[in-house]
Amino acid sequence: MGHLPAATVPEPPGGGSGTPGGPDTPGSGGPDPAGDRRGAPGGGFWRYLGARVSGAAVSLVLVLFSAFFIFRVIGGDPVKAVVGEAPTTPEQQQAIRERLGLDDPLGVQFWDYVTSVLTLDFGTSYVSGAQVTDLLWSRLPATLLLTGTALVLAAGLGVWIGARAGWRQGSRFERSQVGIALTLWSAPTFWLGMIVIIVFSVKLGLFPVNGMHSARGVADGFWPEAVDVAHHLVLPACTMAAVIYAQYVLIMRSSILEEKGNDYLTVARAKGLRDAVVRRRHAVPNALLPTVTLIALQFGAIFNGALLTETIFSWPGLGLLFYQAIKGPDIPLLQVLFLFFAGTTVLANLLADVLYRFLDPRVRSSA
């Protein structure tokens, strides 16, 4: 069988540029943006990460400056935090100011502050005389227990209710749950905490009103102590969770509403899957992306919310410690707590940005 003449071979669309070895094809030496991206795997991720880390670094520098200057303009005499109610003469007060370096030029004080941050030596508390870092680490477990419990409750309950509300759009269940969520979201934390204390502690006597341990003590052993702590944890954790869980309800509901019209859910139903299975196995996993990002963001912000909750319930964590330091003012303690709270929020935002890129293909393709 003879070969076809060369002139009868159909030419690909686009002329010579589409033939093998053409100027615009991979390997031909011509421009190929996709090929350039393939030749540098991970380049987009490192540029994305570098931009986010740079932004976080700038934020941390601003936090460093803010922690120094804010607590020197809020008023109050740090000397009173040192001497307490003890009577002192003006000469003694001046000696204390000189010992603490409060009379040094502002530039000298700032340099000492930056040096202490870089060396992680934050000095001693004006009130207790203990090392500031020791106070921070001693109170951190109580705050982690409270905020972690509240975050798990809020996220778990919010995702479950939000998914069901979005799936049953227009139902009485959806309207009632959205109304409850908006009401709790708009309620001030201190007001909700006082209502909870009045109802469940004062009137019903079901839970203790403050603290983390019973004043009368409990029997020795891990489980009796754990039960006692859990009993004290119920009211503050539920109060904090009630305020933040509305965000998860509303975001999860919105995500489910966006997923409901997609074709893959119609295909799943056509296969004979029950409606509950379609929602649980197909719609919810795809709608979780914004909620996962919110959890990462909330992890940093929830430490700030602990300030009011711990103060209301006298929970011995970092929030209550911050409130006690403000009354001094205990400047070294305030500085390190401010750095911790603000720094945690910045790092949580950075984590959320990185996590979002891995979870959302659209962010990867645009990076």
- At residue 4, the 3 state secondary structure works out as coil
DSSP string computed for 290-303: HHHHHHHHHHHHHH
Amino acid making up residue 79: V
Say how far apart CA 334 and CA 330 lie, in whole Å: 6
> Shortest CA distance to 151 belongs to which of 289, 344, 301, 286?
301
Say how far apart CA 204 and CA 327 lie, in whole Å: 33
pLDDT at 31 (0 to 100): 46
Say how far apart CA 363 and CA 367 lie, in whole Å: 6
Q: Are 248 and 185 in contact (CB under 8 A)?
A: no
**What count of other Cβ atoms lies within 10 Å of the Cβ of residue 60?**
15
pLDDT greater at residue 1 or residue 202: 202
pLDDT at 23 (0 to 100): 42
pLDDT at 188 (0 to 100): 85
Say how far apart CA 268 and CA 279 lie, in whole Å: 10
Instruction: Report the phi/psi class of residue 356: left, alpha or beta, with left for phi > 0 and alpha for psi in -120 to 50.
Output: alpha
Say how far apart CA 350 and CA 331 lie, in whole Å: 28
Write out pLDDT tens, residues 214-273.
766 655 777 888 888 999 999 999 998 988 888 889 888 888 888 877 777 777 777 877
Amino acid making up residue 132: V
Write out pLDDT tens, residues 314-346.
999 998 999 888 887 888 999 999 999 888 888
Say how far apart CA 29 and CA 23 lie, in whole Å: 7
pLDDT at 196 (0 to 100): 92
pLDDT at 39 (0 to 100): 38
Q: Name the band, by pLDDT with cuts 50, 70 and 90, for residue 18.
A: very low
pLDDT at 135 (0 to 100): 92
Mean pLDDT check: name the lowest of 116-120, 129-133, 192-196, 256-260: 256-260
Write out pLDDT tens, residues 45-101.
788 888 889 999 999 999 999 988 888 877 677 887 777 767 778 888 888 888 888
Q: Are 194 and 312 in contact (CB under 8 A)?
A: yes
Q: Name the band, by pLDDT with cuts 50, 70 and 90, for residue 364.
A: low
Domains of the chain in sequence order: 48-366 (1.10.3720.10)
- Residue found under tokens 């943006």: 33
Say how far apart CA 31 and CA 25 lie, in whole Å: 8
Buried b (16+ CB within 10 A) or exposed e, 87-105: eeeeeeeeebbeebeeeee
Buried b (16+ CB within 10 A) or exposed e, 120-132: eebbbbbbeeebb
pLDDT at 199 (0 to 100): 93
Is the backbone peptide bond immediately before 13 cis, with ω within 30 degrees of 0? no
25 has a pLDDT exceeding 50: no
Alpha-carbon distance values, 294 to 42, 252, 279, 283, 297 (Å):
26, 10, 21, 18, 5
Percent of the chain with pLDDT over 70: 82
pLDDT greater at residue 231 or residue 103: 231
Mean pLDDT of 7-15: 43
Residue 307, class by beta-carbon neighbours within 10 Å (0-12 exposed, 13-18 middle, 19+ buried)?
buried
- Which tokens belong to 58? 């700038």
